[in-house]
Amino acid sequence: MHCSPGGTRKTQKYLGDRGLIALIALLSAFVPLSTDLYLPALPGMGDYFGVSASLTNLTLILFFLFFSLGLLFWGSLSDKYGRRPVLLVGLALYIAASAGCAASLAIWHLIAFRILQAVGGSAAAAVATAMVKDVYDGRKRESVLALVQSMVVISPAVAPILGAFMLPYTSWRGLFAVLALIGVVSMIGGLLLQETIPSRYTGTVAQSIRRLGTVLKNPNFTSLLIVFSLVSAASLAFVSASSYIYQEEFGLSEQSYSFYFALNAVGLIAGPLLYLWLSRHISRRTIVTSGFTAVIGGGLLVCFFGNMGPLIFALALFPASLMGSSVRPLGAFLMLDQQKEDTGSASALINCSGLVFGSAGMVLVFLNGSDLVFSLGAINVAVGVVCLLGWTAIGRRGLVTLSTTPD
């Protein structure tokens, strides 16, 4: 049953509204938790296995690649079979794979289990965004998306600090054991979850997966998808290169690195909250235009001043992190609003596209390995320029009613 705009459609008997939002936030955070927790150990893991940084980095890059592919698979299945069954199957795989990562004896074992971990974890992310649209309408949906985004980006701030302070007492294996425990906690939440999908797709599995193409044929959805997903190329380039920049180029310890990483994550945390405040005072078009402009400005600051020291680098990148993050809630809201049906497929494509562009950023930042700081700044500038041009084109062509204010 649909409630009036601004309300919820179905009450969760066991989780309640706050419990549901907390579960959605935790599920949405599977990517940063599964990557950022062990970032401080990444250089040391290469030494442990006796392999190069590029090979060790495959544990990150292939995770993102298979996570994005898994999103497409699970998102379509959740439209047919429901969010809860897909979530529980995916979490079971994630827990088992995390345990396998902790027990790995060679780098190729670790890479293989990371791929399985990505496939399982992608089920969590695929259903999380879909559940927001299943349950919430109008301004309430926008507020929940912003709140979830803020809660999600807390994990990049907390995870490296937790990982760095665990390392003196355990090895990188212990960090993957923690991820298995996070999977168990999520599984408990999934067992308490009541199904949220209002109506299921009645076609075959193959037809359900082919609905991805139907969603992509929507020009409104696809144009927004490209523009807002491209921002991930800059943010994930930083995730991939940060430990090498701070620990190898600036010579910081694992513990010091985690604090500087957290400083950047403060901007990611504050961005969605800043958007909620700004959206009550200025137009959404202006917020997004300002956000993409700030990404360009932050990138230029990093290019010209980032090599002067770790604090200057972190402060130079901060505007791009803050304002780049601030556009995400509106991007997610606008994209979901373009699809009246196929919510799971749309949610999967939103998350998948972000990870595909993000994986590209992770590769590009290492092409100029002699100066990772400059490479990261250049990626931010390029991303900001392309996004700003795309956003302007969307407005001029009238593909989306950008002035629309959620009720």
**Residue 295 maps to which CATH number?**
1.20.1250.20
Q: Supply 28's token pair.
A: 């949405």
> Are 73 and 349 within 8 A, CB to CB?
no
Between residues 235 and 182, the one the model is more confident about: 182
pLDDT of residue 10: 60
> Are 114 and 38 within 8 A, CB to CB?
no
- Mean pLDDT, residues 152-177 taken together: 79
> Are 340 and 216 within 8 A, CB to CB?
no
Residue 51 within any structural domain of the chain: yes
> Are 241 and 233 within 8 A, CB to CB?
no
How many percent of the chain have pLDDT more than 90? 35
Distance from C-alpha of 3 to C-alpha of 9, rounded to nearest angstrom = 5
- Mean pLDDT, residues 337-353 taken together: 78
pLDDT of residue 306: 93
Between residues 212 and 398, the one the model is more confident about: 212
Question: Greatest CA separation found in the chain?
Answer: 60
In Å, how far are 273, 305, 385 from 278, measured between CA atoms? Answer: 9, 29, 22
Q: 268 pLDDT exceeds 60?
A: yes
Distance from C-alpha of 72 to C-alpha of 74, rounded to nearest angstrom = 6
- Mean pLDDT, residues 309-336 taken together: 89
Q: 407 pLDDT exceeds 60?
A: no
pLDDT of residue 145: 78
259 CB-contact burial (10 Å; exposed 0-12 / middle 13-18 / buried 19+): middle
pLDDT of residue 9: 55
Residue 324 within any structural domain of the chain: yes
Nearest to 27 by CA among 99, 107, 94, 108: 94
Lowest mean pLDDT among 130-134, 308-312, 317-321: 130-134
Distance from C-alpha of 302 to C-alpha of 315, rounded to nearest angstrom = 9
Residue 404 within any structural domain of the chain: no
Between residues 17 and 182, the one the model is more confident about: 182
156 CB-contact burial (10 Å; exposed 0-12 / middle 13-18 / buried 19+): buried
Residue 178 within any structural domain of the chain: yes
Count of residues for the chain? Answer: 407
In Å, how far are 287, 289, 393 from 396, measured between CA atoms? Answer: 17, 13, 5
Determine the straight-line distance between the first and last CA of the chain, rounded to whole angstroms. Answer: 19
Render pLDDT for 45-71 as a digit per residue (tens, 0 to 9).
888 898 888 788 889 888 988 988 888
What is the CB neighbour count within 10 angstroms for residue 324? 26
pLDDT of residue 2: 35
Q: 74 pLDDT exceeds 70?
A: yes
Q: 405 pLDDT exceeds 70?
A: no
Of 256-260, 276-280, 372-376, where does the model show the most confidence?
Answer: 372-376
Strand partners, 341: none
Nearest to 55 by CA among 66, 64, 42, 36: 42
What's the domain count of the chain? 1
- Mean pLDDT, residues 212-240 taken together: 88
Residue 11 within any structural domain of the chain: no
Q: Supply 383's token pair.
A: 């991303």
- Alpha carbons within 13 A on the beta-carbon side of 78: 36
Residue 112 within any structural domain of the chain: yes
In one letter, which amino acid is 58? L
> Are 167 and 41 within 8 A, CB to CB?
yes
Render pLDDT for 130-154 as a digit per residue (tens, 0 to 9).
898 888 887 788 788 777 766 666 6
Lowest mean pLDDT among 189-198, 211-220, 378-387: 211-220
Structural domain including 65 reads 16-397
pLDDT of residue 403: 47
Residue 10 within any structural domain of the chain: no
> At a CB cut-off of 8 Å and minimum separation 6, what does 211 contact?
76, 79, 201, 342, 345
Q: Supply 32's token pair.
A: 């940063």
Nearest to 235 by CA among 319, 349, 361: 361
pLDDT of residue 406: 46
Residue 55 within any structural domain of the chain: yes
11 CB-contact burial (10 Å; exposed 0-12 / middle 13-18 / buried 19+): exposed
